[in-house]
A = this chain, B = another copy of it.
Amino acid sequence: ARATLGFSCTKTFHNVLLAYLSLQIQFADQKQEFSKRPSKIGRRSLSRSISQSSTDSYSSAASYTDSSDDETSPRDKQQKNSKEIEIAEQEMPALMALRKRAQGEKPLAGAKVVGCTHITAQTAVLMETLSALGAQCRWAACNIYSTQNEVAAALAEGGFSVFAWKGESEDDFWWCIDRCVNVEGWQPNMILDDGGDLTHWIYKKYPNMFKKIKGIVEESVTGVHRLYQLSKAGKLCVPAMNVNDSVTKQKFDNLYCCRESILDGLKRTTDVMFGGKQVVVCGYGEVSRKGCCAALKAMGSIVYVTEIDPICALQACMDGFRLVKLNEVIRQVDIVITCTGNKNVVVRENLDRMKNGCIVCNMGHSNTEIDVASLRTPELTWERVRSQVDHVIWPDGKRIVLLAEGRLLNLSCSTVPTFVLSITATTQALALIELYNAPEGRYKQDVYLLPKKMDEYVASLHLPTFDAHLTELSDEQAKYLGLNKNGPFKPNYYR
């Protein structure tokens, strides 16, 4: 039976089976038609055929839970699941606050939200919040690996239509998305997407659905890029909200998160000691400067920076980093980190000159910063030494340590704190509310940034976590500054 369902056989399977029942039943029959296709597809081919976006965002933080699954009974498991969600709730105060405010009004009453995001405890808190605000939800995973099965099961048990499991095949992936939108007697009127695959599928298969859809909320770089392309081509047929570029998300993802995840990602994969290590960081944008460079400096690393833009370069200088060309230091550094958004920043020639044991990784938005393809040549030997860690070995025995095959280190090798995801989830919820309730004409068929005031609202909902007390403008001060006392306090272009 397992085989016919297309599950790859994992050792945790029997544990989650019972808890899965309610979920399984929902799609067991339709799934039949898919059972003829090969259920095992190697990872390599997958990552080529699936749109890039499916891996272009946060990976699941939950890998650790798998390892301790074995001796728990399914019953305990399920209790544990709801507990994971419960724990997440504690770190997502803003969503809980929204729920409370929703007791009187239901700003999403009548909303039918179809979503495609990572299925994690944090997403579960979001979905339950949307539900509390009045919405109906159907959900698929935006990534074939990131689903927390236990969370999916718990959601299913709670009555949500969730189509996702960890380790989907590519066909599974699209099947799940299709199941989300293609259902008798229910038509979505809002889209919440992460990567653009769901939006893409509807465009391709059910373009008529857009007649009833009030808007799209998109979180990822890739998805937003796709939307702007659609808009540019005049093909965007509903308003879309670019959540990715909201200030709070940007600051948290690029700076506060990276500051911690660069250390975490390197430690978990290599156990390297930071003190005294020589590190070169390529690029000096937000991710780099306060994220990577400041954190490594604080841990006692000696950090060099490369830049192409003289303004950023001057900032690197003033912040106390030597600005070099990569080749000036490549022979001596212990760690190479890219965060440029550019491609081929570290190429084979650089890799050839690195010293034995040099660690190479990418914190940038693109997987092409390190020319990993150039390492796939016969004279080099690859050795997988841990999950996400490869040794690439030169004929003379020199090894470089390549992390996550050049993909984003923080997403591949560290976890994202719930508190950060709370910022994103709250922004998504508010974007849905805004688009759903906006009067006719406020939003056209274009891509919008969240109004600054909502950004500020998201931020204010997270202040109580820090026991932080905001000061209020007096009438006189507001007048002096030419501001409304309740904001927005910054111009819309503020970043």
A residues sitting closer than 8 Å to B (CB atoms) are: 61, 64-65, 67-68, 80, 83, 87, 90-91, 247-248, 251-252, 256-257, 259-260, 263-264, 267-268, 271-276, 278, 294-295, 297-302, 306-326, 328, 332, 341-345, 356-357, 383, 385-387, 414-420, 455-457, 459-460, 462-463, 465-474, 476-477, 480-481, 487, 489-490, 493-495
Contact = CB atoms under 8 A, between A and B. Distances in A.
Nearest to A368: B480
Contacts of A276: 317-320, 465-466
Contacts of A80: 385
Contacts of A65: 386
Q: Which of A312, A462, A471 has the most CB of B within 10 A?
A: A471
B471 A308 contact: yes
B308 A299 contact: no
Contact of A322 (B311, B414, B468, B471): B468
A420 B275 CA distance: 11
A386 B87 CA distance: 13
B311 A386 contact: no
A408 to B, nearest CB: 17
B275 A313 contact: no
Nearest to A63: B67
B272 A471 contact: no
B471 A306 contact: yes
B419 A273 contact: yes
Contacts of A310: 456-457, 459-460, 463, 470, 487
Contacts of A418: 271
Contacts of A320: 275-276, 297, 299-302
7 contacts: A64-B387, A256-B318, A263-B263, A263-B267, A268-B268, A323-B468, A493-B493
A260 B273 contact: yes
A300 B490 contact: no
A267 B298 CA distance: 17
A387 B65 CA distance: 9
B271 A308 contact: no
B300 A463 contact: no
Given A463-B323, A468-B322, A356 B273 contact: no
Contacts of A271: 61, 415-418
B260 A275 contact: yes
Contacts of A470: 307-308, 310, 313, 323, 325
A228 to B, nearest CB: 13
Contacts of A248: 311, 314
A222 to B, nearest CB: 16
Contacts of A474: 344
A274 B463 CA distance: 15
A61 B267 CA distance: 12
Given A317-B463, A320-B302, A386-B68, A343 B477 contact: yes
A323 B311 CA distance: 30
A471 B387 contact: no
A486 B405 CA distance: 31
A313 B68 contact: no
A495 B299 CA distance: 22
A309 B490 contact: yes
A315 B493 CA distance: 17
Nearest to A275: B318
Contacts of A317: 275-276, 463, 466, 468
Nearest to A320: B300
A313 B459 contact: yes
